[in-house]
Amino acid sequence: MCLALPARVVSVEDDTDMATVALGEVKKEVSLALVEDVQVGDFVLIHVGYALNKVSPEEAELTLKLFAEAGLTGKGLP
């Protein structure tokens, strides 16, 4: 696979196109060369020192809801 993790952007350096991201309590410098319009507070998916994509909070919520709904179909089983 490609090991990639969602991390929160804590600061952006526009001149170098780099950002500091936080994964929980761990901070790391990553390149923003592959993404556009990243703001402090956004979550980005990081892989080999690069942000690959923004993570959509709305979609994450919807997926979590899907889990809960799927679970409901199993309720009442012996």
Six-digit token pair at 46? 């990081």
* 27 near other proteins (CB under 8 A): yes
Say how far apart CA 71 and CA 61 lie, in whole Å.
Answer: 16
Considering only residues 6 through 25, tell me which ones interact with other proteins, judged by CB under 8 A.
Answer: 6, 8, 23-25
Beta bridge partners of 34: none
Q: Lay out the site mask for other proteins across 33-52 (x = CB under 8 A, - = otherwise).
A: xxxx------x-x-xxxx-x
Q: How far is CA 77 from CA 54, 64, 67, 68, 72, in A?
A: 39, 22, 17, 16, 10
Q: Which residues bind other proteins (CB under 8 A)?
A: 1-6, 8, 23-29, 31, 33-36, 43, 45, 47-50, 52-53, 55-57, 59-60, 62-64, 66-68, 70-75, 77
